Amino acid sequence: MTGRARDNRLVHFAPDPGIDIRPGDLVEVDVTRAAPHHLVADGAIASVRRTVSGDAWQQRTSAPTAPQVSLGLPSVGRPAPAPETPAACASSR
C-alpha cells in the first residue's frame, strides 16, 4: 500500500493481513529506506488510527441504503402498452 508522510512524500509499506486499513486512516510505520521522492517501510505496522475520512470512504463504498435516483432516461426495450382511455361521453340535446 502507499500513503503520504508528513512532508507529503510517498510512503510504500506492506499491510498486515489481520489489520483492516481503509483509505483515509492514519498508519504509523518505521521507515527503513529513503529516496528523494519516496520512503519505504519494510517493517510491521506500529499502529492504525481510524479517521472520519476513512469512515466516509467506507460509507461511500458500501451498499446503498436509499433507493437509487432515476435521471429520467428512457429504458431500453419495448415500451409498456398505453392504458385504455374511456369512451367519450355522448350527450344529446
Per-residue confidence in pLDDT tens, the chain, 93 aa: 999 998 899 999 998 888 899 999 999 999 999 998 999 999 899 999 999 999 999 988 887 666 667 677 767 778 778 888 877 666 655
Q: 21, 44 in Cβ contact below 8 A?
A: no
Measured CA to CA, the distance from residue 76 to residue 78 in angstroms comes to 7
Res 34: pLDDT: 94
User: From the CB of residue 26, how many other CB atoms can be counted at a distance below 10 Å?
Assistant: 13
What distance in Å separates the CA atoms of residue 54 and residue 25, rounded to the nearest whole number?
5
Give the pLDDT of residue 11. Answer: 95
Name the CA radius of gyration of the chain, rounded. Answer: 29
Q: What is the pTM of this model?
A: 0.61
Give the pLDDT score at 62: 86
pLDDT of residue 65: 67
| Nearest of 55, 40, 48 to residue 18 by alpha carbon | 48
- The two beta strands, 38-41 and 10-13, are parallel
Q: Dihedral of CA 54/29/33/15: which sign? A: negative
